[in-house]
Amino acid sequence: MAKILIVNPKAGNGKGLEVANKIKDIYPNEKVVIYPTKCKGDATIYVKNNVTDKDTVYSIGGDGTLHEIVNGLVGKNAKLCVVPSGSGNDFYKSNDNTVEKIIDVGYANDEYFINSFSIGIDADIGINAEKFKKKYIPRNMIYNLSIIYTILNYKSKELEIDLASFRKTMITVMNGQYYGGGFRISPDAKIDDGFLDLTVVDELNTLKLVKLLTEVIKQTHTTDKYVNISKIKNIRISSPSILTACIDGELVRSNDFEIGIREKCLTLYNDPNIDVRQLIKK
């Protein structure tokens, strides 16, 4: 029985390792393992090979680190404790801090997502943000610049949704409520209700896209006539061309996504001995 602290050493400008050591100090008489991730996908492999059903895994990083841990953890009985130390931390915003709760997890093809799946303008924003990271642009400006650039250049996607053809601006399938660094796209989503929350946005021109963005910021988009919201168990999204999906903030490419839910398959644990706000305070 161990506390396994999986840390993205780059998260929070290196704050993750500092947070991990503080947690280790809280438990001087228990087995605590700190594992700094080394490369993309490393956390998934480590969890699959080293975590037992009696362990508690602490995700110390952002949504990307959490995503990798979940993909190694589903199917095990180990507990998951999320310590938000990255830049977005969207899943944590849907966490009500119940000490222990059994939650749902979504899947897209052979990949699990604990928080979000999206296709369309929001995924393109992520693509363009990655491109801007390679240029000499201040990091705090990259995401906003990507939003502006993508809106001005966006073309709706030709999609098949459960075999019916449409042109859509955006589709999100959510387990949590927030994505994209704090946008509350699915305010009614619950991580343990046995459903995923689907939001489909019709084809929009540039002016309506700007209006939609302001509505999402104000959380008034749910009543927009161009926005369709429902709760689902599964859905299939495909296209004649390759699609880029954003899954828990990670970009994945395919022309066919089978999306569904695994109900009550992961134990979320909020360690009562940890004051998260105090730990991550700058």
DSSP per residue, 235-254: EEEEEEEEEEEEETTEEEEE
d(CA 26, CA 150): 45
Chain position carrying tokens 């993750």: 16
d(CA 31, CA 80): 16
Average pLDDT over all residues of the chain: 91
- Lowest mean pLDDT, pick from 47-56, 206-215, 260-269: 206-215
Give the pLDDT mean for 75-89: 90
Cα–Cα nearest to 274, from 13, 9, 25: 25
State which H helix or E strand residue 100 sits in: strand 100-108
- pTM over cut 0.85: yes
CB atoms within 10 A of CB 165: 11
Name the segment(s) of the chain with CATH classification 2.60.200.40.
116-263
What confidence tier does 281 reach under pLDDT thresholds 50, 70, 90? low
Looking at the predicted structure, is the pLDDT value of residue 280 above 70? no
What CATH number does the domain located at 3-89 have? 3.40.50.10330
Amino acid code (one letter) for 235: I
d(CA 226, CA 208): 9
Query: Under a CB-based contact definition with an 8 Å cutoff, are residues 59 and 5 in contact?
Result: no
Q: Give me the half-sphere count of Cα atoms (radius 13 Å) on the Cβ side of residue 153.
A: 10
Q: Residue 209: which residues within 8 A CB-CB, separation 6 or more?
A: 121, 151, 154, 169
Give the pLDDT mean for 244-264: 95
Q: What is the CATH architecture assignment of 116-263?
A: Sandwich (2.60)
pLDDT at 28: 93
- Lowest mean pLDDT, pick from 160-164, 170-174, 188-192: 160-164
Query: Under a CB-based contact definition with an 8 Å cutoff, are residues 118 and 172 in contact?
Result: yes
3-class secondary-structure state, position 235: strand
d(CA 127, CA 253): 11
- CA–centroid distance for 2 within its chain: 26
Cα–Cα nearest to 116, from 170, 61, 173: 173
CB atoms within 10 A of CB 279: 18
Sign of CA pseudo-dihedral 9, 69, 38, 127: negative
